[in-house]
Structure 1
Amino acid sequence: MIKITYVEHNGRAHVVDVPRGCTVMEGARDNGIPGIEADCGGACACATCHVYVDLNWVEKLPPKEAMEQDMLDFAYEPDPARSRLTCQIRVNEALEGLILHMPEKQV
């Protein structure tokens, strides 16, 4: 299990264990984290699992692929450097301690 911290827009943090191989979105959904809606179920067909990656983690994540970048255009107030779709980040040991911040709302 990999510890990931999801921080709500109001500052409330949720530290949860997410199984290796799952997506960060599945970790949020399976642990009832508010602020991650995941309307498309992880198909990268919406932007309702949008988060802002903590500045200390931006460079540690794999780069965005074109489909994710296109979908982020539909996210609420995307940040070119920090915005990611959690359905596109697969959990592995390198993500131990990852910190994500939720936007004020999802689209």
Structure 2
Amino acid sequence: MIKVIWVQPDGSEKEALVEEGMNLMDAALEHDIEGVIGECGGSMACATCHVEVDPGCGIPAGDPQPMENEMLDVVEYGRTATSRLSCQLIASPELDGIRLKIPG
């Protein structure tokens, strides 16, 4: 299990333990994280699972792949340097302690 922290636009936080191998969109939905919708079910067709990896957590989430990059260009709240689709972030030991900001 890895620890994931979601940060709402108002600064409130919710922490959960997530099973390794689960994508962080599904984890957010499982833990009722407001602002992560996942309309397309993780097929990279909607960008409603957009999050920003908090650079302050010191955990690099890697660069988006080309298709994810295209979807990030149309996110509702604007893309940042650390924007990712949470459906493309897979829980792994390297991401333990990651902080994901919900845009809004």
In the superposition, the TM-score normalised over structure 1's length comes to 0.90
Question: Identity across aligned pairs (percent)?
Answer: 37
How far off its partner does 1:74 sit?
1.3
Structure 1 contact 51–101 (Cα < 8 Å) conserved = yes
How far off its partner does 1:56 sit?
3.3
Structure 2 contact 59–94 (Cα < 8 Å) conserved = no
**Residues 1-107 of structure 1 correspond to what in structure 2 (within 5 A)?**
1-56=1-56, 60-76=60-76, 77-79=78-80, 81-104=81-104
Q: Secondary structure at the match of 1:29?
A: helix
Deviating beyond 4 angstroms after TM superposition, the runs of 4 or more aligned structure 1 residues are none
In 2: Cα distance, 1:70 partner to 1:17 partner: 30
Structure 1 contact 3–96 (Cα < 8 Å) conserved = yes
Cα deviation 1:20-71 (Å, max 9, x = unaligned): 0000111101111111011001111111000111013576212210000000
Compared with structure 1, are the counterparts of its residues 22 and 63 closer, same or farther at alpha carbon in structure 2 (3 Å cutoff)?
A: same
In 2: Cα distance, 1:58 partner to 1:72 partner: 22
RMSD (Å), alpha carbons: 1.3
Letter in 1 for 2:79: P
Letter in 2 for 1:36: V
In 2: Cα distance, 1:14 partner to 1:4 partner: 8
Structure 1 contact 58–82 (Cα < 8 Å) conserved = no
Structure 2 contact 53–61 (Cα < 8 Å) conserved = no
